[in-house]
Amino acid sequence: MDLMEKKYELFVEELKNEGWDIEKLISELMMFKFELPSWGFGDMGTRFATFHEPGAARNIYEKLEDAALVNKLTGICPTVALHIPWDKVDDWKDLKKHAENLGLKIGAINPNLFQDPDYKYGSVTNPDPKIRKRAIDHILECIEIAKILESDVISLWLADGTDYPGQDDFRDRKKRLEESLKIVYDNLPENMKLFIEYKYFEPAFYHTDIQDWGMAHLLSTKLGDKAYVLVDLGHHPLGANIEQIIAILLSEKKLGGFHFNNKKYADDDLTLGSINPYEVFLIFKELVFAVRDSELSNYAKNVRYMFDQVHSTKSKIEAMLQSVNTAQYILAQSLLVDRDKLLDYQKKFDLIGAEEYLLKAFRRDVTPLIWKFRKDLGLPENPLEYYRRSGYKVKISEIRG
């Protein structure tokens, strides 16, 4: 028996003494899947500069190849989100086939409504009806692309807003926004969902048209049952209680998806857990509680999770593997929080007991559980180290330049 097998046996014994069902924990761990962003594998930068990484994917075909490797090494990333027109191709059926040959499926389709010069003063909220129509037509084009690729999510983030007081009228922009999204919603197939993302500032600095989760929830509620709120970890003011936002949206069955990254100041898109892993743990706790709740479970199991990260200085594939490994590790920690036991502390107003119970789970070494998960699936024990020894980086650098 090697060292990890011994550690796993001791870990199982410890968990059983606490009343945990180890097989159930592993099945819950296997249930959570994470979507990869195509844009996380190509050269992307800040508004100041883009730094080229040798071997970085040059097109969507190569992005899918890199994503397939991450999925092969981790076992939990079977889908890839696309950004249009960044990932536009002439033959969508060929791209779909390419993804399937790599063991992948296409995930959310993300329309780009923030780079074209026409969108300087907004896209679907623009005062010019011709520009609004152009933006709406682009989203409708993305719906048609999604149909071909058998994607069931249109993920919408708008950069729309204003930079100066008096630049435009708040209520008029809200009206244009609602009218535009109504056209989009009415063109959604029955099996397709619309995720509405929000961001409190940037690139608009005075006001943003979809500035917070309340506005996104208002829009999704007005539109109907196929519209949901998409939460991005980096799209909040400093100090925002994101786990509370998650809990509220889950209770309303309006959380459609969650984008994982990390931030220090603004929308930094850093690797998950690099700044505040405890916050990530508290968010996962709410997601796990919902999945285990008999009234929410069927809905909560269909919430989509994606890494929305751009790696401008870290090696792209390695950074993605870092995030996936971190997500699974913190998820495993959050699985070891029993809501009923936590409620017992809460009912007794035992603040210290409740906090210590959470901290015990957060500080717990769950390596044996992750080891068992990977062993059962025939995955490398340490995906990042395996990748570094694989020679893949050297190979793609030679091919791609």
Q: How confident is the model at residue 44 (pLDDT cuts 50, 70, 90)?
A: confident
Q: State whether the Cα torsion 58-60-65-69 is positive or negative.
A: positive
Mean pLDDT of the chain: 96
Among 237, 172, 226, residue whose Cα is nearest residue 196: 226
Q: What pLDDT, in 10s, does the model give residues 115-157?
A: 999 999 999 999 999 999 999 999 999 999 999 999 999 999 9
Q: Is the pLDDT of residue 46 over 80?
A: no
- pLDDT given for residue 401 in this prediction: 81
Q: Is the pLDDT of residue 47 over 80?
A: no
Kind of pairing between the strands at 193-197 and 153-156: parallel
Q: Residue 317 in contact with residue 69, Cβ under 8 Å?
A: yes
369 token code pair: 């559980």
Report d(CA 258, CA 308) in Å as an integer: 9
- pLDDT given for residue 1 in this prediction: 62
Domains in the chain: ranges and CATH: 33-338 (3.20.20.150)
Q: What value does the mean pLDDT take over residues 77-100?
A: 98
Give Cβ neighbours of residue 166 (< 8 Å, ≥ 6 apart): none
pTM for the complete prediction?
Answer: 0.96
Q: What value does the mean pLDDT take over residues 357-376?
A: 97
Q: How confident is the model at residue 378 (pLDDT cuts 50, 70, 90)?
A: very high
Q: What value does the mean pLDDT take over residues 270-280?
A: 97
Q: Is the pLDDT of residue 48 over 70?
A: yes
Side-chain half-sphere of 197: how many Cα atoms within 13 Å? 27
Report d(CA 146, CA 126) in Å as an integer: 25
Q: What pLDDT, in 10s, does the model give residues 296-327?
A: 999 999 999 999 998 989 999 999 999 999 99
Q: What value does the mean pLDDT take over residues 263-278?
A: 95
Q: What pLDDT, in 10s, does the model give residues 200-209?
A: 999 999 999 9
